[in-house]
Each structure stands twice: as structure tokens, then as C-alpha cells.
Amino acid sequence: MRALTWHGKHDVRVDTVPDPEIVNPRDAIIKITSTAICGSDLHLYDGYIPTMKAGDILGHEFMGEVVETGPKSTLQKGQRVVVPFTIACGQCFHCGKQQFSACDNSNPADNMDIAQELYGQPFAGLFGYSHMTGGYAGGQAEYVRVPFSDVGPIVIPDGLDDDEVLFLSDILPTGWMGAENADIEPGDTVAVWGCGPVGLFAVQSAFLMGAERVIAIDHFPHRLELAKKFGAETINFEESKTYEALMAMTGGIGPDACIDCVGLEAHGLFGDNIIDQIKVSTFLGTDRIHAIRQAILACRKGGRVSMPAVYGGFVDKFPLGAFMEKGLTLKTGQTHVQRYLPGLLNAIAEKKIDTTFLISHRMPLERAADGYKMFHDQQNEATKIVLKPGMVEA
């Protein structure tokens, strides 16, 4: 089959690789119909995530048709499914608590060593996202092997297009959990750093959860426009001073809840970013955390900080004193995708949440390498790129 493979920094290629087959009893094989490039794929593309190997198949946002099932799979051939990027067994203690991204059993035993040493405990396997998280082949391919297919994939009813439901695989539940982790109360003002796909879904989710005002922060005008469409007020950090603007817009109180949807590759010419970046490029290895620093300083006393954004390693100059003195709460984590799927599928079917606005480009899988370059270089226009195997371009 054809698949998008990683070969190094800014080097991804569509190669011919062996077809996946059923290996374990609970497996299913999915024929991919739509798969998206995620902002976190750019962390791999930019070489920020360790434990990648040449030839790894990328992609963790995908959906398709069931073409083969293991004897213990509950799926049936021909069903259309969206597959969560987090792989979860459904039977361990953590899955029992619906903490699916903390699943004990979905990461192969040998791959768990890295996370055990670095993070203290290993966590769930993820599709197409380095060997620390399992080394599973991803879905930017014609076919994918899905382990524990009786637990993860959600069957899509007729009448809903791929474009409407594809983002259930990651970014919609990630934005939703980002808002949920902000413990939003009626009347709250919520600030969202980063208007990429996750940030835009966090904006929508925050309103659905009862926020009175949402303030969205970015520097790409097109992304800020999209946030505005959903009712957010905006701050362009290249034109306005973010902290000062937030204080002025909240009557000097600060936002009740702050959501960091930026992560380890924060943009912008801020002093702390530049220092962080120099450290990364000289292998002193700290993540760039400008957004979360600013969120902690701006957040109102006793407020909540939610961090759906991806971080990989250690940070420098984390404002721990401010965090403590202001009595803030921080919640974070990889998304427990399986927990949110039924509710969010309903919200889509009832037209309460719109996801299709996000897609700026659709292209054949064969052009995936161009897609990565475009998503990387043109972040204003390229809000979301969906790859479709077999698609014929007009």
C-alpha cells in the first residue's frame, strides 16, 4: 500500500510499504477514506519529538471503512468508523475510570521503557506518533491496523459526511476536553491561546459550556476571523500587548479560565521564546512555553488553567511562584478521546458543533508531502489539510 513516511526533519515521503494484516484477536483493518494532518504532526515534521525512526508511518486523525476483523473485534466489514488517536484496551484500571489516554495495556511492553524512565510511568499507545507512544503505524496511508477495535472506533451513521465527523479522531475532543478542564462556570470569561484547530474547537466548546465571553489570541488574521465567527473577541499578539489587553478587556480581573492551545513550538518574538529556542537548537532541550507562562500571569486569582497543548520535555522559567501565590489550578493531559465520542457525534448530528469550516484543503494521499509543507509554511491560509487516498484532483 501507499503511506506517508517520516525520514527526518522536514523530510516526509509517500512510499510503498507492506499492507497491514490482523495480528491480534481484537484487531480490525480499516481502509482509509479521509485522514488529516494535525498540528502535532508538525512537531514530528520539525523534529521536536524524540524516538522517531526512519520509515515510520505518520497520521493519527483518520477514518474509513472496516475491511477485515479479528475474531474478537465487534466491528463488521463495511461499517464506517472514526478511530480515536489514543489506543485503549478498555479493561485496565485507567480505562475503567475513562482515562483512556492513560491506558496501561495499549503500549507494547518494550516501548514502555522510554516513558517509564522519562516520565515515571508509561502511557497509552498512539497512532503514528513516535516509539515512546508505541511505534504504531499511523493512518496517513491506504490501510491501517487498529488494535482493540472493540473499544476505540465509533461507527458513523449514514447521512454524515467524512468532513463532518473526521475530527472526532482528535482535535474536536481535544478542544472539548481543553474547555472541560477549564471547569467553566456561567458568566465566565475564558481566554484561549492559539486559534489552530484545537483552539477553535475550544472556543466553540467554551461557549457551549456556558462561558459568557471568550477571548481568542493568535497572530494569524484568518484564524482570528474564524474565532470571531463563533462569537469570540480577539487579540492579535503582533498588534496588541496580550497581557495588557486581557487585563483591560476583563476590567483588571484577568480571565476566569485560560486555555493553552499552542504548545511546545510557540511562535512570536518574545524574549523567553528566543531563549527557549536557542536552548532547543543547542540541545539544551527545553520546550518553548511562552503561552503557558502568559496564561499563568494573566489568569485571575483562584482561576483555572487548562493545557491541551502538547509538551515533550522540560521547561525553563515556569512561573511557579505566581502559580502558587494566585492559587491557580492546572489541568492537562492527552485527550481521553473515547470518553467524548458519543456525545460529540450527537452534537455534530444535531448541528450544535460545526467542524467543516476548518477544512481549507483536500488533496490525494499521494500529495501528502506537499500538504505537510503547505501546513507548515502557510499557517494563515492552511487551517486544515485533509488527505484522501484515491482522490482525483479536479
Partner 1 sequence: MNDTDGVRSDDAPAGTAKSDAADKVGAGLPEQAGDSATVQTVTINKPRQELYSYFRDFSNLPAFMDNVERIEVKDRQLSHWVVKAPAGATVEWDARVTEDRDGELIAWTSEAGADVPNSGRVEFRDASGGRGTVVSATILYDPPAGVVGKLVAKIFQREPAIQARRDLRRFKQLMETGEIATNAMNPAQAREKEQG
CB 323, min distance to partner 1, A = 30
Residues in binding contact with partner 1, number by CB under 8 A: 35
Q: Is 84 helix (H, G, I), strand (E, B) or coil?
A: coil
State the pairing for strand pair 80-83/61-69: antiparallel
Q: Residues 127 to 186: which contact partner 1 by CB under 8 A? A: 134-137, 145, 147-148
Rounded distance between C-alpha atoms, residue 307 and residue 260, angstroms: 5
The verdict on 117 binding partner 1 (CB under 8 A) reads no
Interacting residue with partner 1 among 25, 210, 302, 343 (CB under 8 A): 25
Rounded distance between C-alpha atoms, residue 346 and residue 121, angstroms: 34
Stretch that binds partner 1, among 18-26, 214-222, 260-268, 363-371 (CB under 8 A): 18-26
CB 317, min distance to partner 1, A = 34
Rounded distance between C-alpha atoms, residue 318 and residue 286, angstroms: 11
CB 96, min distance to partner 1, A = 7
CB 173, min distance to partner 1, A = 22
Stretch that binds partner 1, among 103-111, 356-364, 372-380, 381-389 (CB under 8 A): 103-111
Q: Which three cell numbers stand for residue 361?
A: 484543503
Question: CB neighbours (10 Å) of residue 209?
Answer: 18
Interacting residue with partner 1 among 4, 36, 58, 112 (CB under 8 A): 112
Nearest CA-CA partner of 220 in 7, 5, 39, 29: 39
Residue 143's beta-bridge partner residues? 31
19 CB-side CA count, 13 A:
12
Nearest CA-CA partner of 65 in 143, 5, 166: 143
The verdict on 111 binding partner 1 (CB under 8 A) reads yes
Amino acid at residue number 35: T
Helix (H) or strand (E) holding 40: helix 39-45
Rounded distance between C-alpha atoms, residue 80 and residue 78, angstroms: 6
CB 226, min distance to partner 1, A = 36
CB 114, min distance to partner 1, A = 12
Rounded distance between C-alpha atoms, residue 261 and residue 199, angstroms: 5
Interacting residue with partner 1 among 9, 13, 19, 55 (CB under 8 A): 19
Stretch that binds partner 1, among 39-47, 101-109, 194-202, 352-360 (CB under 8 A): 101-109
The verdict on 54 binding partner 1 (CB under 8 A) reads no
Interacting residue with partner 1 among 74, 76, 91, 346 (CB under 8 A): 91
Q: Residues 59 to 78: which contact partner 1 by CB under 8 A? A: 72
Q: Residues 322 to 341: which contact partner 1 by CB under 8 A? A: none
Cell numbers 510499504 correspond to 17
CB 252, min distance to partner 1, A = 46
Altogether, the residues listed in the chain come to a count of 394
CB 58, min distance to partner 1, A = 14
Interacting residue with partner 1 among 5, 73, 101, 106 (CB under 8 A): 106
Interacting residue with partner 1 among 125, 139, 255, 303 (CB under 8 A): 125
The verdict on 104 binding partner 1 (CB under 8 A) reads yes
Q: Which three cell numbers stand for residue 345?
A: 457525534
Rounded distance between C-alpha atoms, residue 257 and residue 136, angstroms: 35
Q: Is 193 helix (H, G, I), strand (E, B) or coil?
A: strand
CB 70, min distance to partner 1, A = 9
Q: Given the complex with partner 1, which of 64 and 194 has the nearer CB atom?
A: 64
Q: Using the Cα atoms of residue 333, residue 384, residue 48 and residue 11 in order, give the sign of their dihedral.
A: positive
Binding stretches for partner 1 (CB under 8 A): 18-26, 72, 89-93, 96, 104-113, 116, 125, 134-137, 145, 147-148
